[in-house]
Structure 1
Amino acid sequence: MIFAAILAGGIGSRMGGTDTPKQFLTLGDKPVIIHTIEKFVINSKFDKIIVLSPQNFINHTNNLIDEYLGENDRIVVIEGGKTRNDTLLNSINYINENFDIDDDSIIVTHDSVRPFLTHRIIEDNIEAAKKFGACDTVIPATDTIVESIDGEVIENIPVRDNFYQGQTPQSFKINKLSELINSLSEEETNILTDACKIFVLKGEDVYLVKGDITNIKITYPYDLKLANTILKENES
C-alpha cells in the first residue's frame, strides 16, 4: 500500500504580519495547502492521503478541501504533533490503526508549503522507496557552502560538488521508519527533526531523488511573492 503524509502542522511564525499559518495563505486563487494536496489527489497510486494539521485548524482544513476538491474518501485530516517526528508518528499510528500494511508499504511525506511538487518527483520517490527503503528529494548546491561553528569565523569551506539542498518528499517503507523513530533515545528525539537524518544516524542508506529548483518551500513573505510568479509562469 502507498500513503501520502502532507505535513501541515506548523504555524508559520517566520512568515510575519499574519496570524494565519502559511499553508492557509492564498496562492493565486486558492490556499497553498490545496495546491499541494491536488498533486497527490491526481495520482491514483495513493491509497490514502493524510493531511496533518494543527488541532485548531482541522475543521478549517476539511472545509477548504470540501470547497476546492469536493468530497474525496481518499483524503483524511488528522492532528499533527508538536514536532516533525511526532507528526510523522501520528500519521504512522493512523495507518496502523486503519490499514493492514506489510513491510513493503510506503509513506511519501511532503511539506504542505511546497506547492510545486511534480508528478515526476512523486513517481521517483515511490520507486526509490520501494527499491531502497528510504529516499530524499534533493537538488545540487549552487552556492559555496561555508561552515562556521561560532557564526563569526569560517571553519571550513567544503567541496560544493559533494553537497545538496534537501527538499521534500522524503519517502520510506513505513515499518522501517516506525522502527527507527521508536528506537530513538530521548536526547536523539529532541535533536533529530528530519526523518532522513534518523536513517543516516542509524546506519541506514538513504537514496537521492532528483528534485526541482521550482519545488520551493514557502517560509518567508518573499517566498510567497516568488511562488505567485512561478504559478503565473506555469499557467501561461
Structure 2
Amino acid sequence: MQFAAILAGGSGVRMGNPNKPKQFFFLGDKPILVHTLEKFCASGCFDAVLVLTPATWVQQTKDIIARHCPQYVDAVSVIAGGAERNDTIMNAIRYFEEQYQVDDGAIIVTHDAVRPFVSLRIIEENIASALAHGACDTVVPATDTIVESLDGEAISAIPNRSALYQGQTPQSFRMQTLKEVLLSLAPEEKAILTDACKAYVLRGKTVALVRGDVENMKITYPQDLRIAEALLEA
C-alpha cells in the first residue's frame, strides 16, 4: 500500500503572522495547502492521503478542504501533528497502522504542505525509489557555493559544490523501516535530528536521491509567496 502524509504543522511567524500557519495563506484563489493536497489526490498513486496540522487547526483544516476541494473530502483525513517533524511523521504512521492493513511493503511519502508546485513526476519517482531502495530524498544540485562556519563568525570550510545538493520534499520510505529508525533514536539524537533522512544516515542506511525541481519551492517568507504567485500565473 502507498500512503501520503502532508506535513502542515508549521507556523506563520516567518510570514509575519504568528496567529495563522503559513500553509493557510492564500495562493491565488485558495490556500497553499489546498494546492499541495490537490497534487497528491489527483495523482491517483495513494491508498490514503493524510494531512497533519496543529491540533487547534484540525477542524478548520477539514472546513477548508470541504470548501475549496470538496471532491476530495472523502479521500483525505486530517489529524493533529506532533511537537517536532519526526513526531508528526510518527503520528502519521500510527494512524495508517490503525486504519489499514499495513504490511512490510507499505510506502509512506512525506511532503511539506508549503511546497505546492510538486510535480506528478517527482511523486511517482519517489514511490519507485522508495520501493527499490527503501528510502529516498528529493534534491536539486546546489548552485551557490556553500560556506560552513562553526562559530557563525568566520568560514570553517567551503565544501566542493559538485557533491552538494539542496534537500526538498517529498521524502519517502518503507513505512515499517522508518518506524524502526525513528523509534531507535535516543533523546539526545532526537534533540538534534529533525529530519527523517538524517536519522537514516545516522543509522548507516541508504537514502537514494530523486531529482527535484527548482519550482518545487518551499514558501516560508513573504517574498516566497510573491514568487509563488508569479509561478502560479505563469
The answer for unaligned runs of 5 or more in structure 1 is none
Matches within 5 A, 1:25-174: 25-71=25-71, 72-174=73-175
Give the counterpart letter for 2:26 in structure 1.
T
Write the deviation string for residues 39-85 of structure 1: whole angstroms up to 9, x where unpaired: 00101120110000111111111011111111532200000001001
Alpha-carbon distance between aligned partners in 2 of 1:60 and 1:137, rounded to the nearest angstrom? 30
Amino acid at match of 2:11: I
Question: Where does residue 219 of structure 1 map in the other structure?
Answer: 220
Cα gap change, 1:68 to 1:17, in 2 (>3 Å): closer
**SS class of match (1:52):** strand
Q: Would you say the 8 A contact 2:52–2:80 is kept in 1? A: yes
Count of aligned pairs between the two proteins? 233
Consecutive unaligned residues of structure 2, counting only runs of 5 or more, are none
Per the normalisation by structure 2, the TM-score is: 0.98
- Residue 171 of structure 2 corresponds to residue 178 of structure 1: no
Partner of 1:230: 231
In the alignment, the residues of structure 2 paired with residue 64 and residue 95 of structure 1 have an alpha-carbon distance, to the nearest angstrom, of: 22
One-letter identity of the residue aligned with 1:61: T
Distance 2:21 2:9 in 1: 9
Q: Deviations over 1:70-101 (max 9, x none)?
A: 15322000000010011000000001111111
Instruction: Give the counterpart letter for 1:119 in structure 2.
Output: L
Cα distance in 1 for residues equivalent to 2:25 and 2:33: 8
- 3-state SS of 2:139 partner: strand
Percent sequence identity over aligned pairs: 55
- The residue type equivalent to 1:228 in the other structure is E
Which residue identity is paired with 1:128? S
SS of alignment partner, residue 204 of structure 1:
coil
The structural deviation recorded for 1:189 is 1.2
TM-score of the superposed pair, with normalisation by structure 1: 0.97
Structure 1 position 17, deviation (Å): 4.1
Q: Distance in 2 between matches of 1:153 and 1:201?
A: 27
CA deviations on 1:116-161 (whole Å, 9 max, x unpaired) are: 0000000000000000000000000000011111111111111100
Q: How far, CA to CA, are the matches of 1:45 and 1:126 in structure 2? A: 9
**1:19 CA drift (Å):** 2.3
| Aligned residue identity for 2:191 | N
The runs of at least 4 consecutive aligned structure 1 residues that moved more than 6 Å come to none
Q: Distance in 1 between matches of 2:70 and 2:145?
A: 46
Task: Find the residue that maps to 1:107 and give its secondary structure.
Answer: strand
- Aligned AA for 1:193? T
The aligned amino acid for 1:62 is K
